[in-house]
Structure 1
Amino acid sequence: MKDRRHTLMWMKDLLEHMSRCHDQLQWAGDDDPTRDYLADSLLGDLVECQRLCEQLRGAGGRQARQMALS
């Protein structure tokens, strides 16, 4: 149970970070290098969120997802 709670807290932190990045991204100009940095940060957070969701689902969920993608 402790691992689940830790995972959920980590996901909450990631979602808050993504929200802040999104807010900043709205103000970044098209040629602003900050835009690329924020977009890359959001992509990294998405990958981490996906990993955490799969961890919560367990090995059975990963196997079902792999079969669905095949």
Structure 2
Amino acid sequence: GKYVNAMGPKRTLIIGLIFLIITQALYFIEGSLGFLMFTRLINGVATAVATTATGTIAAYITPPERKSEGISMF
């Protein structure tokens, strides 16, 4: 959360999505079990970064008077 505030949600989302695409492509490379576990770990971190940024963006763009409705729809 603090990195989203430091870098901005849009930039954090773009970085997270880039890492997510890269780690998804790494699944097609044949390697050892250790490589697969490392890829899975980095993929989980990238997923966490991207989903945190999208939640923050959803909270920012929702109007204050409809905040609860907008967050629940997200």
TM-score calculated relative to the size of structure 2:
0.61
The answer for unaligned runs of 5 or more in structure 2 is 61-66
Aligned to 2:57: 56
CA contact (8 A) 2:23 2:39 kept: yes
Report runs of 4+ in structure 1 exceeding 4 Å deviation: none
Greater RCO (CA < 8 Å, at least 6 residues apart): 2
Query: 1:35: Cα distance to partner?
Result: 0.6
Letter in 1 for 2:46: D
Aligned to 2:64: none
**Aligned to 2:27, what secondary structure does the other structure show?**
helix
Aligned to 2:16: 14
Percent identity of the aligned residues?
Answer: 5
Distance 2:57 2:51 in 1: 10
Query: 1:51: Cα distance to partner?
Result: 1.1
Distance 2:15 2:8 in 1: 11
The answer for unaligned runs of 5 or more in structure 1 is 66-70
TM-score calculated relative to the size of structure 1:
0.64
**How do 1:1-70 and structure 2 match up within 5 A?**
6-29=8-31, 31-58=32-59, 60=67, 61-62=70-71, 64=72
